[in-house]
Amino acid sequence: MVRRWTPEGLHTLFGKERILNLGVGGDRTENVLWRLSDLPLGQISPKTAVIFVGTNNLSRKSDGPADIVSGVEAVVKKVRSAWPNVAISVMPILPRGPDFSFREKDRVEINERLALNSSYRFVHVDEAALTCTQPMPDIASGCPNYNEDRLHLLPPGYSIVNQALAESLNARR
């Protein structure tokens, strides 16, 4: 999960279910794998796992698309081995950077490759709405979905992500 994802937003998605958010700022796929190896995973039995990781790997130029896809899929494999019956949703790597084009070609390739894997549900987020590249009648100017760093989402951005995840989770039921 994501450290900045608010409990209110998560409860909107999951209702009264207990939520374990393992998001830590700055984590890369290898950090998540280490944390999963260090936790007593057998003591919990989740129904759903949402994996939202990979954007921080883009920050390291040596991590190419294949490396990042392998890292995300290794996290999925670790989650699946701990909880064979868990429903897994993988979130895309979202647009980022001053003009939302930071390593865009690599980001798109990663998401395309992740979307091909049938061992989990890949969540498609409306990137045009998220980056405000489609007209938003209720917004006069600017894009209220991202923090000034154009990396971290603000509550309206999480609302768009929540909607995409909710649609994906509801399609599974």
Q: Which of 26, 38, 35, 18 is nearest to 2 (CA)?
A: 26
Note the pLDDT of residue 3: 63
Confidence category of residue 138, pLDDT binned at 50, 70, 90 = low
How does pLDDT run across 125-137, given as a tens digit for each residue?
A: 999 999 998 655 5
Note the pLDDT of residue 141: 53
Give me the chain's average pLDDT, please.
Answer: 88
* Three-state SS at 33: helix
CA distance 125 to 123: 6
Note the pLDDT of residue 40: 86
Q: Where are the domains of the chain?
A: 7-126+159-172
Confidence category of residue 1, pLDDT binned at 50, 70, 90 = very low
CA angle 56, 98, 5 (to 5 degrees): 50
DSSP E strand boundaries for the chain: 48-51, 87-90, 121-122
Q: Fold for domain 7-126+159-172?
A: Rossmann fold (3.40.50)
Cross-strand pairs, 146: 153
pTM: 0.89
Residue with tokens 């450290």: 3
